[in-house]
């Protein structure tokens, strides 16, 4: 079962793997034609009623696979208004091939469509791109289709039906058979129609490996205000100063509006000195201790998210402070470095994304394996036991929440240099503001790896963590 949003992500990931959408459309059209051939006899009359999106594009392809039938491809609306390049190319192809086509411009023409002696209608008006009730001329076309005696085969989803919910806000096509692609859609479960799920050549890798389709949209409303895109708090520093500064800057580079750093006063000036973009709050003492937790909690509840761990060190008092903090915190947090060891023992209502490397994972009580597929299974199981999302770093990063597992392949061995983990924690923290934990972790690993690859192109094995900061935006380019 796959939702429309996830399908779009998988489709983008397939394109990044070198399987362009036009190729998928060819397979989709072929699959539709196969069901048509199974349903009616050669020579029978088949009318394909097509919209101007990719759902229609699938049917333009199908028409080419139906030479043995008396076909007519009906386009609703003007060819100039075909909305996608690949649908347009397939429309042009059937024109050049001189297959029978009809363009119906308005509602009257559609009402006049003679479907009396038609044996099968392919409904390719709208698929997953539908929003709201069918507009004209599609609404009238749906009524005409529903009045016909012909067998109706719907492409992907009956037009007018929401693929995620199965509901329709107005008239919808009443299909006898639905040919849907790659995986079934939640909205098809309760329909009174046969459903065929057609493989269209999307490899499992497009689902399993993180790709550009998993990245959050970069669109922002023009009327956005400061803080709309996230305000996060980094709890870190003490024995180390650079780590929380790297994390905070990475969160900013990943799109966060405001980043606060709560760090011991002994290092506050140093941390501020790294970047004027950070808002630094000094905590009493030389390390994070239970006595300052209440104040930090008060600040944390005002934030969209927290990143806890970078540079905190592993003093017993600091561990106790982390434990107290997590015990009282109910929001979303990324947990990294020395804070990780506290997670298995703590009782918390917070939603956590833990970012251990394999050694830290084992220290938490998890298991690892050399083979990445085996490792993925072990991490998934441990995430389920823990009740939190895990991002286990390695040549293949494993992201799991116990239900879903994703694997990230971006990155380079040059990233073994210190500080890259702090960058990753910041990126995931920024994404966690607006995205679900699993997606934030997956996309964060992908983006940080891409930044590392770009930095290594320029610096080779001499790359340092700060190089990644400058490259983070490059990962958002959906190549
Ligand atoms: N990976 C994928 O997602 C694949 C998708 N494919 C096909 O692509 C389809 C999705 O294509 P698109 O995203 O182009 O979307 P659709 O073709 O479903 O619909 C987009 C068009 O519908 C119009 N529209 C939206 N709501 C409307 C309404 N209420 N009344 C009238 N018109 C309305 C839009 O203006 C746009 O022109 C899938 O359903 C499937 O058939 C396949 O080609 C293969 C792979
Ligand atoms: K359809």
pLDDT tens digits, residue range 344-358? 999 999 999 999 999
284 is in an annotated binding site: no
What's the half-sphere exposure (Cβ side, CA atoms, 13 Å) at 154? 28
Rounded to 5°, the CA angle 110-112-114 comes to 100
Closest CA to 10 of 221, 207, 222, 149: 207
3-state SS, residue 218: coil
- Find out whether 161 is annotated in a ligand binding site: no
Residues of the chain with pLDDT under 70: 478-479
| C-alpha 80 – ligand 2 centre gap (Å) | 21
Any alpha helices (H) in 2-123, and if so which ranges? Answer: 4-16, 21-39, 54-64, 85-96, 107-111
Structure tokens at 455: 């930095």
Is 54 among the annotated ligand-binding positions?
A: yes
Q: What global pTM score does this model have? A: 0.91
Residue 58 assigned to a binding site = yes
The closest of 62, 18, 33, 48 to 201, measured between CA atoms, is 18
Pocket perturbation via mutation, ligand 1, pick of 88, 128, 182, 195 by most ligand atoms within 8 A of CB? 128
Q: Which residue from 17, 81, 28, 19 is spatially nearest to 55, judged by alpha carbons?
A: 28
In whole angstroms, give the CA distance from residue 113 to residue 72: 11
φ and ψ at residue 35, rounded to 5 degrees: -65, -35
57 is in an annotated binding site: yes
Ligand 1: atom nearest CA of 86 is 43
R_g over Cα of the chain: 27
Name which CATH class applies to 226-476. Answer: alpha beta
Ligand 1 probe mutation, 52, 106, 129, 169, most atoms within 8 A of CB: 129
Sheet holding 397-400, edge to edge: 279-283, 258-264, 231-235, 305-308, 332-335, 351-354, 389-392, 397-400, 405-408
- What atom in ligand 1 is closest to the CA of residue 155? 41
Residue with tokens 């990155």: 411
Task: Tell me how far the alpha carbon of residue 156 lies from the centroid of ligand 1, in angstroms.
Answer: 9
- 123 annotated among ligand-binding-site residues: yes
- Residue 77: C-alpha distances to residues 80, 81, 84, 141, 154 (Å): 9, 7, 14, 12, 19
- The rounded distance, in Å, linking the Cα atoms of 432 and 438 is 9
Cα angle for residues 125, 127, 132 (degrees, 5° grid): 90
Q: How much is the pLDDT for 1?
A: 93
Q: How much is the pLDDT for 478? A: 56
Q: Which long-range contacts (CB under 8 A, 24 or more apart) does 263-271 make?
A: 263/234, 263/235, 263/236, 263/237, 263/238, 263/311, 264/237, 264/238, 264/288, 266/238, 267/237, 267/238, 267/240, 267/241, 268/237, 270/241, 271/237, 271/241, 271/244, 271/245
- Is the CB of residue 211 less than 8 Å from the CB of residue 447? no
d(CA 370, CA 7): 31
Domain(s) of CATH 3.40.50.10260: residues in the chain = 4-208
The whole-angstrom separation of Cα 402 and Cα 389 is 8
Nearest CA to ligand 1 atom 25: 130
What would the two tokens of residue 366 be? 């998890």
Pocket of ligand 1 (CB under 6 A): 7-8, 11, 24-25, 28, 51-56, 58, 83-84, 126-135, 138, 155-156, 181, 200
Q: Choose the residue to mutate in 6, 127, 182 for probing ligand 1, maximizing ligand atoms within 8 Å of C-beta.
A: 127
Q: Where in the chain is the domain with CATH 3.40.1190.20?
A: 226-476
407 phi and psi, to 5 degrees? -125, 130
The answer to whether 232 and 333 have CB atoms below 8 angstroms apart is no
Strands 351-354 and 231-235, how do they pair? unpaired
Nearest-angstrom CA–CA distance, 172 and 161 = 6
Ligand 1 centre to CA of 88 (Å) is 13
Instruction: Report the CATH fold assignment for 4-208.
Output: Rossmann fold (3.40.50)
DSSP tally for the chain: helices H, then strands E: 16, 16
Closest CA to ligand 1's atom 11: 54
Place of tokens 């607006």: 434
């Amino acid at each position: 079962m796959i939702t429309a949003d996830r399908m779009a992500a998988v489709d983008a990931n397939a394109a990044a793997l070198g399987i362009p959408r036009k190729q998928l459309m060819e397979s989709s059209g072929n699959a539709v034609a196969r069901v048509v051939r199974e349903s009616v006899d050669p020579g029978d009359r088949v009318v394909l009623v097509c919209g101007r999106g990719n759902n229609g594009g699938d049917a333009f392809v199908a028409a080419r696979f139906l030479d043995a039938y008396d076909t007519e491809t009906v386009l609703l609306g003007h060819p100039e208004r075909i909305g996608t390049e690949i649908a347009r190319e397939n429309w042009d192809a059937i024109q050049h091939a001189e297959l029978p086509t009809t363009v119906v411009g308005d509602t009257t023409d559609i009402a006049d469509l003679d479907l009396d002696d038609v044996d099968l209608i392919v409904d390719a008006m709208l698929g997953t791109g539908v929003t709201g009730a069918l507009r004209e001329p599609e609404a009238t076309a749906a009524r005409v289709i529903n009045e016909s005696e012909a067998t109706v085969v719907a492409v992907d989803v009956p037009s007018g039906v929401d693929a995620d919910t199965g509901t329709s806000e107005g008239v919808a096509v009443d299909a006898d058979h639905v040919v849907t692609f790659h995986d079934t859609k939640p909205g098809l479960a309760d329909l009174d129609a046969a459903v065929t799920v057609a493989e269209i050549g999307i490899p499992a890798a497009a689902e399993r490996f993180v790709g550009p389709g998993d990245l959050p949209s970069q669109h922002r409303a023009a009327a956005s205000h400061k803080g709309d895109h996230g305000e996060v708090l980094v709890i870190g520093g003490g024995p180390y100063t650079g780590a929380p500064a790297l994390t905070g800057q990475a969160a900013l580079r990943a799109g966060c509006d405001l980043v606060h750093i709560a760090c011991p006063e002994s290092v506050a000036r140093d941390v501020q000195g790294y970047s004027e973009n950070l808002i630094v709050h000094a905590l009493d003492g030389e390390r994070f201790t239970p006595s300052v937790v209440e104040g930090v909690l008060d600040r944390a509840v005002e934030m969209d998210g927290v990143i806890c761990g970078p540079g905190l060190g592993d003093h017993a008092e600091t561990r106790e402070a982390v434990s107290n903090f997590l015990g009282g915190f109910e929001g979303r947090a990324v947990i990294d470095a020395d804070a990780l060891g506290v997670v298995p023992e703590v009782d918390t209502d917070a939603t956590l994304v833990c970012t251990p490397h394999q050694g830290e994972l084992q220290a938490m009580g998890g298991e690892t394996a050399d083979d990445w597929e085996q490792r993925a299974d072990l991490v998934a199981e441990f995430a389920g036991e823990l009740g939190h999302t895990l991002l286990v770093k390695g040549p293949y990063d494993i992201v799991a929440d116990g239900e879903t597992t994703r694997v990230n392949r971006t990155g380079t061995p040059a990233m073994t240099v210190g500080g890259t983990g702090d960058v990753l924690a910041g990126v995931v923290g920024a994404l966690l503001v607006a995205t679900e934990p699993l997606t934030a972790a997956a996309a964060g690993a992908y983006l940080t790896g891409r930044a590392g690859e770009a930095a290594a192109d320029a610096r080779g094995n001499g790359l340092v963590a700060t190089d990644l900061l400058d490259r983070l935006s490059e990962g958002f380019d959906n190549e």
